A and B are shown apart, each in its own frame.
Chain A
Amino acid sequence: MKKKVLSVFLAAAMAVSLGACGGTTTPAPASSGGSGASSAGKDTYNVTVIIKATDSSYWQTLLLGAKAAAEESNGKIKVTTDGPASETDIDKQVTILENAIAAKPDGIVLASISSTSTVPAVEQANAAGIPVVTVDNKLETDAYTQHIATDHAIAAATAAADMVDQWKAKGIDPAGKKVALISADSGSAVNQARCKGFTDEIKRLVPSIVVLETQYCDNDIQKALDAADNLVLANQDLIGIFGDNNHMGDGIAKAMEQSKKGDKIVTYAFDSDDTEIDAIQNGNLTGIVVQDPFGMGYNGVLAAVSKLEGKDLEKDKVSETTLVTKKNIQEDAVQKLLYPGK
């Protein structure tokens, strides 16, 4: 983890210094860059990175990571990026992927919207010797080179473990007390994995804990706020709430702010946004589980290149998550995760 953060940091630093070079000594880097790309031939790897949606900051962050890998490589890696406008454009993404393959890149990094629609194209690329690294969504084929994704259940379990530690620190005995889950979407596999991961771990650590009925809130902040309010009203012995995405976190934090229960109830959510970050600093939210799309883009590109260089890769790789609390929120590495590209 430390190593990765360091390398990401170096990449960013390099990008900044390269940019600075370009500004001051104009001709030199421009010409060397140009010749490097054209004359180096086989020494340059063209990697196409295709994301799920260009309208989302999460996927834009993944692209930043991919670009950082290219910038760090000193011209060895060239990254082309593409993707449909929205996460519902399944066929557009298939078309984009097919066109990308037709352009014969050296490697592809793909965050596929559908786990089936892109399979034929990926198999075709594999047959043509183009390594395909899939990130986030796993495809129903073995024709991928490496799959890099967050393990949502394990990540949510880290929140459960930390919740138990926080109770200990506050002198709260969790035996027989209650925890609640507030979920954005009952039908999403990712959200289900997060809730199950949290529930299993908290029950393993505190077998006598009572897990209340999950509240489903249609990804609506107001509904999450209402649900958290009602849970607090009904359960005097409620000591923990887990929200399975950032909007649920926003609603929970608002409820804690108004009920002033932030010190009695430990609250965790998944994914970050500015409201949650403020809430963590104000003590209205204990912490958040943060994924690393930057790292997925960065490692995805490097994995494709490693494959091209003949290295063996593990088939499935877990992208690490970080638990952000008041304690570590000011650290550089954490700030980098919360505000990628800044």
Chain B
Amino acid sequence: MTAENKSLKQRQYNSFLARYQTELLLVGILAVLFLFFGNTSPVFFQLETLMKLLKQASIYGIIAIGMVFVITSSGIDISVGSVVGLSGVIVAMAMVNGVPIPIAILLAIASSALVGLFNGILVYDANVPPFIATLGSLTIVRNFILLITGAKTISDLPKVFTNFAADSMLGIPYLFLSWAVFVCIGLFIAKKTTFGRNMYAYGSNKEAARLSGIRVRSVVYGVYIFCSSVCGVAGILLASRLGNGVPNAGTGYELDAIAAAVVGGASLDGGEGSVIGAVLGAMIMATLRQGGTLLGINSFIMEIIIGSLIVIAVVLDKVRKKRN
């Protein structure tokens, strides 16, 4: 009886370990980083520094959640940085022209979602490889932004709007709370909905998914629209944080988002991806960047470390999967 009980517990424990191995590995890496920076920098464990870290990770972290969905479906979206810029500029232009803040926000998210729909149509209906399709959107959207703004920053945004990113509730920054909300939404969609299950199925085997009657179109449209909409929110938060609608905002953010997702265990072959993993991936990168500045480590060395970490995380993950 006790032996059986023990073995059941052991099995449950083992399956928990197996299922969350990547996440546990990342928590371990993060813990090591925290201990290292905490011991070498006198300010790292101060509340203010930790809150700044959460703020600094939030916007990248939100984009990474969108990216995980696309990567899990065996796609890729490199237009996310442009969508971040688009959304920030649209929300700013709308507010400056007297549109009420909630409507301005909806407008920005709707236009972002439209980019996602465009990506989805290109990938599913026109059968364009996702990298090429979203490379096209990256360029089109960025230059559309430059066109409508005349490459000029949009300033004089309402104080209520710009204060949001600076303020906090009970000491926790709103930026981080927003990120937490999207983590919950992402987890819910991935784990509890048919769409989420279909996304994993489609990502691991497209043909099997098609044959088993999954509505593939809605999966492809869905992941790209979700990703772009989430980036739209990130763009609005970034505009709030910068206090301006900045035409070149978000440039290059796709690389950080892909890195966070992949460090977090997402496979570019599709079928695998974890929201929590992406969150941890984004946290690790932000921690390294902040720690690097706190300790005054040479920027180039720091980026080499971050690049190496991405490679090591992926290699470790591959080795582990092979062993299983």
Contacts and interface: CB of A to CB of B under 8 A. Distances in A.
Binding between chains A and B = yes
B92 to A, nearest CB: 12
A210 to B, nearest CB: 10
A215 B293 contact: yes
A250 B294 CA distance: 21
Contacts of A227: 293
How would you classify the secondary structure of chain A's contact residues: helix, strand, loop or mixed? helix
Contacts of B52: 226, 229-230, 233
B111 interface: no
A226 B56 contact: yes
Interface string A219-251: 111100111011101100000000000010010
A278 interface: yes
Nearest to A230: B293
A274 to B, nearest CB: 5
A214 B299 contact: yes
B309 interface: no
A258 interface: yes
Given A229-B52, A274-B153, A234 B243 contact: no
Interface stretch (B6-14, B64-72, B95-103, B245-253): B245-253
A281 interface: no
A278 B154 CA distance: 13
A221 B294 CA distance: 19
A273 B245 CA distance: 13
Given A231-B293, A250-B242, A221 B249 contact: yes
Contacts of B300: 186, 216
A258 B166 contact: yes
Contacts of A234: 41, 43, 293-296
A293 to B, nearest CB: 15
Contacts of A328: none
A186 to B, nearest CB: 7
Given A220-B252, A278-B155, A233 B294 contact: yes
Given A55-B151, A233-B43, A258-B166, A221 B242 contact: yes
Given A56-B151, A231-B293, A218 B252 contact: yes
B242 A57 contact: no
Nearest to B166: A258
A215 B299 contact: yes
Contacts of A7: none
A44 interface: no
A222 B249 contact: yes
B102 to A, nearest CB: 24
Given A218-B252, A230-B290, A213 B153 contact: no
A275 B166 contact: no
Given A221-B246, A247-B248, 8 more contacts: A212-B296, A222-B242, A229-B56, A233-B46, A234-B295, A254-B243, A273-B153, A275-B153
